[in-house]
Structure 1
């Protein structure tokens, strides 16, 4: 068996490229070109004693272009941001905006009353109030010692 020279810097560089590829796969943000086709809106979730409050950042989308579906255990939000680039004038156009369809399914920490969900959309922020199911509100667990 021939001896091979070990080059630690090459190994580190190879490892870094592989880690970057893995992270790009998980975040779906490999480049500006690929993110123009679709995007994932950022979300914020907050739980109170009566409800789960969910906010999604979806600027530049009309309310009628957003579809919300709620089950007792998850919420699915989908929509589309349509491109408004006009090429009537000659010249260069560069955009870093993200256009295209999105779909996000968010599992909820507790069961909700999906027939009583309230939605509000202002200034590009979609706010959902998801009331907890009655059995979740009244859920008390006895903890015993020993």
Structure 2
């Protein structure tokens, strides 16, 4: 219902008042439904950085995993999706320490990478050295770039 203002002046209506109230109710419903976290700390724990490179014969993926050992990492390949998962465990805090700053993050992580071309899954190699995981995924024979000379007839 529209609100009317009466006085010495003619009646004035605000046609947008009801619409704005409705919009506020919808916004509140969406905010309640999606519950946007106050900080990224509520959502993001540890997400390793990765590099993906392609050579003539393979895809090379490198992931920075500082503070982990190869026992903390699991790598798998399913339907050309490479999965890297693991957990960076938090060190036990000493009770006598008062931290002024604590920036290092810990927790479980999962990275899934879609490999754009078929690879030889039985020949995938992974090595872990100095906190860097390197995975080599050899391309399938039909995916390797081939140059074929085509004879031109008269």
Q: Normalising by structure 1, what TM-score?
A: 0.69
Gaps of 5+ in 2: 1-12, 17-35, 149-154
Structure 2 counterpart of 1:17: none
Once residues 142 and 118 of structure 2 are traced to their aligned partners in structure 1, the CA distance between those partners, rounded to angstroms, is 9
Structure 1 counterpart of 2:50: 43
Once residues 58 and 90 of structure 1 are traced to their aligned partners in structure 2, the CA distance between those partners, rounded to angstroms, is 26
Structure 2 counterpart of 1:31: 40
Q: Which structure is higher in RCO with an 8 Å CA cutoff and minimum separation 6? A: 1
Q: How large is the Cα RMSD of the aligned pairs?
A: 2.7
In the alignment, which of 79, 85, 90 is matched to residue 86 of structure 2?
79
Structure 2 counterpart of 1:118: 125
Q: Which has the larger radius of gyration?
A: 2
How many residues matched? 117
Gaps of 5+ in 1: 5-24, 142-146
In the alignment, which of 120, 138, 141 is matched to residue 134 of structure 1?
141
Once residues 71 and 116 of structure 1 are traced to their aligned partners in structure 2, the CA distance between those partners, rounded to angstroms, is 14
Structure 2 counterpart of 1:105: 112
Say if 1:110 and 1:55 are closer, same or farther in 2 by CA, change over 3 A: same
Runs of 4+ in 1 over 6 A off after TM superposition: none
